[in-house]
Structures are given as structure tokens and as C-alpha cells.
Structure 1
Amino acid sequence: MKGYRSYIALIVVLFGALVLLEYLRPKPVDWTHSYSRVDKIPFGTYALYELMPGIFPGKPVQEVREPIYNLLQSDKINGNYVFINSYFEADSVDTNALLDFVDRGNQVFIAAEGFSVFLADTLQFETEDLGSTSPDSTSIYFTSQPKRKVYTYPKNIEPTYLLANKKAGHVVLGRNRAGYINFIKVPFGKGWFYINTAPLAFTNYQLITLKQSEYAATALSHLPVQPVYWDEYQKVGRVEDQSVFRVLMRHEPLTWAYYVALASMILFLLFKSKRTQRVIPVIEPPRNTTLDFVKAISSLYFNNGDHKNIAEKKIAYFMEHLRLHHHITTNTWNEELQEKIVAKTGADEALIANIFNLVNSIWQSNSIGAQTLIMLNNYLEDFYRQTAIKPKAHA
């Protein structure tokens, strides 16, 4: 177990560093069209939900986290039912419950880009895509306002418009500057449906960034001052459906299977860590390559007798020595490099000058004699002795 402590500590440190980096990293803007009242992202509806008590003074605003049918089973539920979604989804059962709710004299407000077939067919309206994000298609106004103030909502979607049916009693409440209808109210029994195709106009971006909260407040003010039921079910589902283990915890056999698997994994890690011995690495002694280098040079000299070739090898080794041991770049062979070698190594200035002169002479010659090679070797050996690290004297 002791052998794993260093690895465990390393993993913990790395995980902590990752968490810290993730915490300090600037959060990117989330442009998801959530329309949820708890989201403060641009296309959430947190700001509008906070304004609801002011739009309906003295009346409760209740969040709904269950299907339409479940809420409206009781006839005691009365008031305004508000939906703001990307798409309004309702099957035949939910649609019938909603129609009965409005028939009793209540109101339903729906702002969405698309609507279920059951509702659209019953209320006899259709939606069409404009296929354009021009200013006219995203600039909207209320037909009931005499001055017709224009409001502009974000242009990151293809806007839709409504095909109203006057024979069905549809009342036009809003249009865009292109002349297309985007807001109507539809009578049903004793109540009204309010249909709007610009849900982005009710988001935080519209109310806070564009500072046009007046549009959302005016649209909702068409509803009477009654209790409000704010739908969140179509956005985030039920409250109990948020746990990733909801299926396991809902059924007792699956719950026990999960706990047994978790306990088995813990036991396996504990016993495995005690019984497994860390592999002992084989450490080979450092190999001395100096003798190999000497043999290679000696063999080259013995076989070919090419003094210049050997001299160039010694010069290359000298430059490598400067780079590795003194951290001196040898890309350019000039007076500046000569001065840098003297300053960094502390070698005799005359010795360095002799080395530079001799090296330049060798490079310019087609061939050199044995005496020149010996002279170069002596100069370099003197340099290595002068620049060798001396052990500290003990007091």
C-alpha cells in the first residue's frame, strides 16, 4: 500500500489543479435556448419570472413541474397558464385538458416557434417560416398601440409568423414590420388562448441586454390579473427526474445491485493494492562512452591519416563542449563568440585567440600536417584544464 501513496498523492494534486483551472477559467457564454426561469443565460427567462409579481400584482405565481393533464385534473385550478418554449409540445390528452381549462373561463399564453398539431388544428391557426432574419422580420409591434412602438428581438433564428382565421374569431394583437402576424388571441368557450411566435422577446437577452422589458410586460398584460401557472415541465421535466441514478434508485433490485457492485469494487481495490508488489526496475550502470570515442578517432587516424578530418572532429567536439557545459551558442564563429567564451569560461584570453586563429586556418586549408593537429590538440587540452570545475577546498 505504501508504494501507491506517491501515485495517489500525484493524482490528488493533479485533480486539484484541474479543478482550480476549471474554476478560474472564464466561463463561455451559453447561448442555449432554455427558456427556463432558473437560467440567467441570455436565452433563459429568469428576469421575466422575477417581473411576474409586478405584472400580476397580488396574485401568486406558481412554477409547474408536471404534465398539463396532471395539473388540470382538478376543476379548482383557475387562472393564467403561461408557456414560453422553443416548441410547444402537447399530445391529445394534454390538449383536451388545456381546452377544458380555457373553456371554463381561463387563459393560456403560449410563446413558441412551433406548436403541436393537436392544438393548431383545434384552434384553426398555422405557422410558417419567414426564412429571413432581416430587421423587418424581427422588429415587432402591438396593433393596439396607437403609436405602434417597434421592438426588436435577437436575430439568431429564422422567425415564424401566424396565419390567422377571422372566421374562427382570431384577433390580431401583433405584427412585424414586414406585415406578418406574430401575436393573436383565439376565443374558446369562456376563455382565450394567446399565441405568440417570438419567444426570444421574453428572454433575459431581450429584457436586460436590449433593455426592452416593455414588450414582454405589454404582451402578458393582455391576460387578466389572476393566479399564474408558469410551465417549467416542458423545459426541464419533473423535479425528481434530475438525478442521474433516478432509474437505479426507483427500483429496489437495481438499487441493491448498484450498492453490491460499488462495495465489490472497493474491496477489490483494497485487496489488490495489498497483494500486488511494485515492479522493481533494473538499473543499469552508466556506460562510459569516452573510450568508444577515443577508439573511433584512433581508428580513423590510423586507417586514413586524414589530419584535417580529425581536426574537424576535435573542433566539433569543442563546440559541443561549449554548448553543453557552458551554454554558449556556437552558430556564428566570430570575435563576439570569442569574447563570450572568455567571459563565461574564465579561460586565458590569449589561449582562446590562438584556438580561434588556428581553427580559422584549418577551415581555410585543404589539408593540414601532423604538427598542426598536435598544436590544436594541445590548445584544446589547455582549455579543458583551465575550465574544469575545481572541487571546493574544505576549511
Structure 2
Amino acid sequence: MKGYRRYIALIGLLFVALVLLEYFRPKPVDWSQTFSREDKIPYGTYALYELLPDLFPGQPVQLVREPAYNVLQDSTLNGNYVFITKYFEADSLDTNLLLDFVQRGNQVFIAADEFSTYLRDTLHFSTVYLNTTNPDSTDFSFTSQSDRQVYTFPPNSYMRVLRVEEQHDHEALGRNKAGQLTFMRVPFGEGYFYINTVPLAFSNYQLLTLNQSGYAATALSHLPVQPVIWDDYQNLGREEDQSVFRVLMQHEPLTWAYYLSLIGLVLFLLFKSKRTQRIIPVMEPPRNTTLDFVKAIGSLYFNHGSHKNIAEKKIAYFLEHLRLHYHLATHTLDEELRERVKVKSGADAALVDQIFGLIQSIHQSSALSDQTLLMLNTYLEDFYSQTSIRPKANV
């Protein structure tokens, strides 16, 4: 018992040391593009969310964790609906209520890499993926600014630009240095949609590390000073979806502790079961005597010199094989049957001719030699191997 206590104490000390090591070691930078207002990592939007009262003075900011369809059930809701996300996902129901919301004179601001098909089709635009290291693709400015201040993104960023269908009154608000559209306003009813393909411009990294908060402030300044509805559903889902396991997986130390606990439990069960489980008697499986029976019958025929009988049985089994697998009528062994076997089985034509020729010779003979029986068996085995359809048992 004392030996067990030593091992348990040692395992406990190692576990505590590992947890402390994981807790105090320098944490690597998390570059996940969450765009959540809760995250202070480089690509969260905590800083921008805190600046909203300054950008929209005197206006309330409502945080929502529900689909747009649920939020906009209240038809009296007015203001600016803001989405900052990587993938803007909206089904037909969400899109229809957003369209009604804008049509009543409100604004929807969406900054994303990709947009739902329903929204793109309705507003007549698409996005183009730029896989380029051209610095002109990562320098941005606003067309509405007289001085055209340039905002620079980190190099080697993978960007998207907007492509607008012709003959539509979309207003360009921002472009990259290469002249490609990245920010536009789309009128719909009494209000506007603001579409932006640079969501990273609204992240903590852009606002704090690169000290370029002017881009986000200028982009949002196109919206009127009205109440703000800030969507975090696209980034985090419903609030009630948060589970214990999801929280554990979001923090690396908790994740390690969870996995180590599981491993320790499994090891305990394994070693404990080894000690307490009684010996299970070895049960011999029932012996399959079918093969022995077949060998005995074959030896009987062979020892009595019944080569003709054995050959007839192998031929009958071969014809049954043709009927079962290739659905051929075998009552007449003529040239037509021979050609059908060649086509349907895919076997070598010469081999099929040899088999049928040997079958006819056997039918006409009254007795067989060992060599003829062996030749028949070889031809049939070659046929089964070439067609990849072997019989379950050979007599």
C-alpha cells in the first residue's frame, strides 16, 4: 500500500508541475480571426466596440447574439446594424428582414471576407479573391476624403475586392491603391447597405498595434448618428450555446488539464482491471469440418479412379457459375454461348475456347486420364482468377 502512495504522490507532483509550467510559460500570440468584441487578441474587435460610444455620441449600443431574423422581428427597431465578421452568413429569412430593415430608412454595415449568396444576388455584387503580394493591394483610401489618406495593411495579406454588376447605382466609398473597389454604399428603399471587404481594418491589431484607427472611424462615420446594433452572433453563435467543453477548449491550460484527467482515468481503469478481473477461460471456436468433408469425398473419387465423375461435377459447377454470375443459359454448349462467355466474363478468349473444347471432349469420352482431369482443373482455376469471381468452394 505504501508503494502505491509513492506512485500516486509522484504522479500528483508531476501533474501540478505540468500545470504550473503551462500556466507560467509565455503564451504564443493567438492570430485567430474571431472578430469578437470579447477578444483582445490581434484579430478581435474589443477596441472598436469600446470606441463605439465616441463614434456615435449619445446613442445606445445594443449587443445581439441572435440571428438577424430573431432580432428584426420587432418592426419598430431602427438604427445602424453592424456586422464585423469573416464570413457573413444569412439565409433567405435573415436577408429578407435585413432588406425590410434598410427599406424603412435604416443602415446595415457589413465588413467581411465573404458574403452570403442571397445578399450578393439581391444587391448585385460579387467578390474577387486576390492571392497577391502586390503592396498596392494592401494600401487603402476613401474616395470621399479630399486628402485621400492611405491606410497600410501588413504585407502578404490575402484580400478580396468587390465587383459590381453594370447598370446599378452602387456608390464607391473606398478603393485600394490599385484602384480596386473595397468599400461601397448600396441604396435600398429609404436606407443603405454599406459593404466592406476589409474586416481586418476593424481589428485590435489595426487599431492599436498599427495605430491606424482612422480607417475604422472613417468607415463608420458614413453611418448616421443613430442607435447601434452590434452583431456578435456571426462570430460566437447564440449565448446559450456556450458549454463547459467549449470553454475548456478555448483555453489551452484547461484543455491540457482536461486531456490529462482523461488519460489518468483511462490508465487507472486499465491497471485496476488487470488486478481485479478474473481469468477468462479460452473458448475454442467450433471447428469447421466442411473442408475435411470435401477433401474426404475428393480422395474417395480419386482413389477409385472416378476421374470422369469428378470432371463432370466440376463442369456442372462451372456451368452453374456461368448461370449465377453471368445469367447465361447453358443447356446448349454451342458457339453462341462461348462468345457470350468471352464478352461477359472478360476472360482470355483462347482460355474460353480451351475450356469449351475440353468440356466437349470429356462429354464424348468414357474415361479420363489424370492429365486430362488436371488440365480441366487448371483451365477452370485460370478462368476464375481472370474474372475475379471465384466460387465459394471447389468440389
- In the superposition, the TM-score normalised over structure 1's length comes to 0.61
Q: Equivalent residue of 1:167, what SS? A: coil
Q: Which residue of 1 aligns with 2:185?
A: 185
Do structure 1's residue 97 and structure 2's residue 97 form an aligned pair?
Answer: yes
Within 5 Å, give how 1:345-356 maps onto structure 2.
none
Matches of 2:177 and 2:183, distance apart in 1:
13
Within 5 Å, give how 1:73-152 maps onto structure 2.
73-152=73-152
Deviation string 1:63-111 (CA, Å, 9 cap, x unpaired) is 1111110111111221111111111111111111111111111100001
Matches of 1:164 and 1:142, distance apart in 2:
17
Any gaps of 5 or more consecutive residues in structure 1? 247-264, 277-395
Deviation string 1:207-246 (CA, Å, 9 cap, x unpaired) is 1111000110010010011111111111111111110469
CA contact 2:110–2:195 (8 Å) conserved in 1: yes
Any gaps of 5 or more consecutive residues in structure 2? 247-264, 277-395
Q: Which residue of 2 aligns with 1:386?
A: none
Matches of 1:84 and 1:131, distance apart in 2:
22
CA contact 1:35–1:84 (8 Å) conserved in 2: yes
Percent sequence identity over aligned pairs: 68
CA contact 2:170–2:185 (8 Å) conserved in 1: yes
CA contact 1:164–1:184 (8 Å) conserved in 2: no
Matches of 1:156 and 1:229, distance apart in 2:
33
One-letter amino acid of the structure 1 residue matched with residue 201 of structure 2 = A
Q: Which residue of 2 aligns with 1:251?
A: none
Question: How many equivalent residue pairs?
Answer: 256
Question: Which shifted more, 1-10 or 180-189?
Answer: 1-10
- Larger-Rg structure: 1
Within 5 Å, give how 1:266-345 maps onto structure 2.
none
One-letter amino acid of the structure 1 residue matched with residue 139 of structure 2 = S
Q: Which residue of 1 aligns with 2:385?
A: none
Do structure 1's residue 167 and structure 2's residue 158 form an aligned pair?
Answer: no
Within 5 Å, give how 1:38-57 maps onto structure 2.
38-57=38-57
- Label 1:178 to 1:245 Cα distance change in 2 as closer, same or farther (>3 A): closer
Q: Which residue of 2 aligns with 1:19?
A: 19
Matches of 1:166 and 1:50, distance apart in 2:
39
Matches of 1:242 and 1:155, distance apart in 2:
35
Do structure 1's residue 208 and structure 2's residue 208 form an aligned pair?
Answer: yes
Q: Which residue of 1 aligns with 2:331?
A: none
One-letter amino acid of the structure 2 residue matched with residue 37 of structure 1 = R
Q: RMSD of the TM alignment (CA)?
A: 2.4
CA contact 2:132–2:156 (8 Å) conserved in 1: no
CA contact 2:138–2:157 (8 Å) conserved in 1: no
CA contact 2:108–2:194 (8 Å) conserved in 1: yes
One-letter amino acid of the structure 1 residue matched with residue 147 of structure 2 = K
Segments of 4+ in structure 1 off by > 3 A?
1-4
One-letter amino acid of the structure 2 residue matched with residue 76 of structure 1 = T
Matches of 2:144 and 2:165, distance apart in 1:
18
Q: Equivalent residue of 1:128, what SS? A: strand
Q: Equivalent residue of 2:37, what SS? A: coil
One-letter amino acid of the structure 2 residue matched with residue 8 of structure 1 = I
Deviation string 1:138-159 (CA, Å, 9 cap, x unpaired) is 1000001111000012334321
One-letter amino acid of the structure 2 residue matched with residue 13 of structure 1 = L
One-letter amino acid of the structure 2 residue matched with residue 177 of structure 1 = K
Q: Which residue of 1 aligns with 2:324?
A: none
One-letter amino acid of the structure 2 residue matched with residue 219 of structure 1 = A
- In the superposition, the TM-score normalised over structure 2's length comes to 0.61
